[in-house]
Amino acid sequence: MLQLKNLSLDDYSKGYLELLSQLTIVGEMSKERFEEFFLKNKNDIYVVEDLEKNKIIGTASLFIEQKFIHGGGKVGHLEDVVVDVGGRILGDVG
């Protein structure tokens, strides 16, 4: 069973940083430093948790920008999108 949710402090121990390392170099980050980042960005980061494995298997960051154009419209920017290699569907799609 999978759950889509906002990033939580518990996700540090559920492999969130290890998942990001499948995308790019994360570097060392203590739990305390993770908590500092979390407090600043918690509403912008979404994760998918495998509830049976108690593990984060997907993530993306969504930043919403208010624009002067289009009558003050908004635009969303997706960043840091990664799905755990074990959950990816590989092969020919066409």
Q: Which of 46, 34, 49 is nearest to 81 (CA)?
A: 46
Q: The whole model's pTM is what?
A: 0.83
How far is it, in rounded angstroms, from Cα 16 to Cα 14?
A: 6
* Class of the domain covering 2-87: alpha beta
Q: pLDDT tens string for the chain (94 positions)?
A: 999 999 999 999 999 999 999 999 999 999 999 999 899 877 799 999 999 999 999 999 998 999 999 899 999 999 999 999 988 776 555 5
pLDDT in the model for residue 92: 56
pLDDT in the model for residue 83: 96
pLDDT in the model for residue 77: 94
